[in-house]
């Protein structure tokens, strides 16, 4: 069985981190985001098709050097194709029933159980469903008691919402779904393809799950997933190897070969490999990029420092993104394509 993992986005809301790294390779507890997802795949999935566009070479290099326990294929899209277009572009690698997953979601979904229910219902498509309180901010699923989905309602008033469930971005699909998708253009699976399947077949189901579900689309959620996973592991901090820590850590994740000077405080922050934090530095809610330096007596709050950046002594920043280098060629100024319609 194959799993298509959508990992082609630029991750514009996570810049400047994504100026130098593919979004799916951004570390979470010092392990690429996409690796957390691959670890949740059931044994019956023996092939992973990575739908990529931006920084394809970087992703390819990572999977050549790191074994994820599955056959991996880097499927290079010529241009961003959206959820539907990327799925269609991977058609030649599909041999039967398959999964489509988003690389930037960390959740407690049991994919084995979802596949089991999909088979039981003789479904054409089964999508994961997550309950929310603020239904008016999402596309809400009209789902019946037996799990059959009959439609979607975009941002309804609470009193008009057909349910409390939204599309959580994991799909189990039969190969016939590919016949619904045109080749070579940007297509939203959620807006264009799913309504047709509902109308034509009625074999469209939802799989409800609870626990946790986090879409790592923004810096705030990127930091929160670190705090959440550390709480789950019942640890105060997470550290890599070969670090020199002479300051104080609280709810923070530290990479490898990191130096933190005397009397420095690092709280609710993520520090990448080879970073240097000087003496008497305060970091709160920050991400410090790889090979970057925060010099002595600096005070940073809710600030993102890109890779290979240096801050002078006594720098004070609040809610800033620091990037002094050229922007990568072709990197868009705003989000493109179609994010998952939840």
Q: Largest Cα–Cα distance in the chain?
A: 66
Mean predicted confidence (pLDDT) in 329-339 = 64
Report whether CATH 2.60.40.1930 matches the domain 236-322: no
* Homologous superfamily in CATH for domain 2-215: Spore Coat Polysaccharide Biosynthesis Protein SpsA; Chain A (3.90.550.10)
Lowest mean pLDDT among 188-197, 316-325, 326-335: 326-335
Report the run of H or E that residue 101 belongs to, with start and end.
strand 98-102
Report the run of H or E that residue 298 belongs to, with start and end.
none
pTM of the shown model: 0.89
Mean predicted confidence (pLDDT) in 230-250 = 95
Which residues of the chain does CATH 2.160.10.10 include?
236-322
Q: Write the pLDDT tens digit of every residue in 77-133.
A: 777 788 888 999 999 999 999 999 999 999 999 999 999 999 999 999 999 999 988
Q: Which residues form the catalytic set?
A: 155
With b for 16 or more beta-carbon neighbours within 10 A and e for fewer, the 114-129 pattern comes to: bbebbeebebbbbbbb
CB 269 within 8 A of CB 250: no
Q: Write the pLDDT tens digit of every residue in 284-301.
A: 999 999 999 999 999 999
Read off the pLDDT band of 159 (50, 70, 90): confident
Average pLDDT, the chain: 91
| Distance between CA atoms of residues 261 and 297, nearest Å | 10
| Distance between CA atoms of residues 23 and 103, nearest Å | 9
CB 150 within 8 A of CB 163: no
Read off the pLDDT band of 334 (50, 70, 90): low
Read off the pLDDT band of 42 (50, 70, 90): very high
Q: Would you state the pLDDT for residue 158? A: 84
With b for 16 or more beta-carbon neighbours within 10 A and e for fewer, the 131-149 pattern comes to: ebeebeebbbbbbeeebbb
- Which ranges of the chain does DSSP label H, i.e. alpha helix? 17-20, 33-38, 56-65, 82-89, 111-120, 194-201, 219-232
Residue reference for tokens 């104080």: 248
Sign of the C-alpha dihedral computed for residues 312, 313, 314 and 317 taken in this order: positive
Mean predicted confidence (pLDDT) in 211-226 = 93
- Residues 6 or more apart whose Cβ sits within 8 Å of residue 146: none
| Distance between CA atoms of residues 167 and 129, nearest Å | 5
pLDDT at 338 over 70: no
User: Strands 105-107 and 213-215, how do they pair?
Assistant: antiparallel
- 151-155, 167-171, 173-177 — most confident range: 173-177
Sign of the C-alpha dihedral computed for residues 128, 134, 139 and 145 taken in this order: positive
Can you count the helices (H) and strands (E) in the chain?
A: 7, 29
CB 279 within 8 A of CB 296: yes
Q: Write the pLDDT tens digit of every residue in 47-68.
A: 999 998 888 889 999 999 988 8
253 burial level (CB within 10 Å; 0-12, 13-18, 19+): buried
Which residues of the chain does CATH 3.90.550.10 include?
2-215
Residue reference for tokens 């820590």: 245
Lowest mean pLDDT among 149-163, 190-204, 246-260: 149-163
Following DSSP, what letter does each residue of 122-148 receive, concatenated?
T-SEEEEEEE-S-GGGSEEEEE-TTSB
């Amino acid at each position: 069985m194959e799993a298509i993992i959508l990992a082609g986005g630029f991750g514009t809301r996570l810049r400047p981190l994504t100026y130098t790294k593919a979004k799916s390779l951004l570390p979470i507890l010092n392990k690429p985001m996409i690796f957390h997802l691959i670890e949740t795949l059931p044994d019956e999935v023996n092939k992973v098709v990575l739908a990529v566009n931006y920084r394809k070479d970087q992703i390819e290099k990572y999977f050549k050097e790191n074994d994820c326990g599955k056959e991996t294929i880097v499927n290079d899209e010529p241009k961003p194709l959206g959820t539907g277009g990327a799925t269609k572009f991977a058609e030649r690698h599909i041999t039967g029933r398959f999964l489509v997953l988003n690389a930037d979601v960390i959740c407690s979904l049991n994919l084995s159980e979802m596949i089991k229910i999909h088979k039981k219902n003789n479904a054409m498509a089964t999508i994961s469903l997550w309950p929310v309180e603020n239904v008016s901010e999402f596309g809400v699923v009209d789902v019946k008691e037996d799990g059959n989905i009959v439609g979607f309602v975009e941002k309804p008033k609470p009193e008009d919402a057909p349910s409390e469930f939204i599309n959580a971005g994991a799909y189990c699909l039969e190969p016939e779904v590919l016949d619904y998708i045109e080749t070579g253009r940007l297509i939203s699976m959620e807006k264009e393809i799913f309504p047709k399947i509902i109308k034509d077949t009625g074999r469209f189901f939802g799989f409800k799950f609870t626990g946790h579900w986090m879409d790592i689309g923004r810096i705030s959620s990127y930091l929160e997933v670190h705090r959440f996973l550390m709480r789950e592991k019942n640890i105060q901090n997470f550290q890599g190897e070969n670090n020199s820590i002479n300051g104080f850590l609280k709810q923070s994740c530290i990479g490898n070969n990191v130096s933190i000077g005397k009397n420095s405080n690092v709280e609710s922050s993520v520090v990448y490999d080879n970073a240097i934090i000087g003496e008497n530095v305060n970091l709160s809610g920050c991400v410090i990029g790889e090979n970057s330096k925060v010099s002595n007596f600096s005070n940073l709050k809710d600030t993102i420092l890109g890779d290979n950046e240096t801050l002078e002594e006594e720098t004070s920043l609040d809610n800033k993104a620091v990037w002094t280098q050229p922007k990568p060629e072709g990197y868009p100024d705003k989000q493109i394509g179609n994010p998952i319609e939840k």
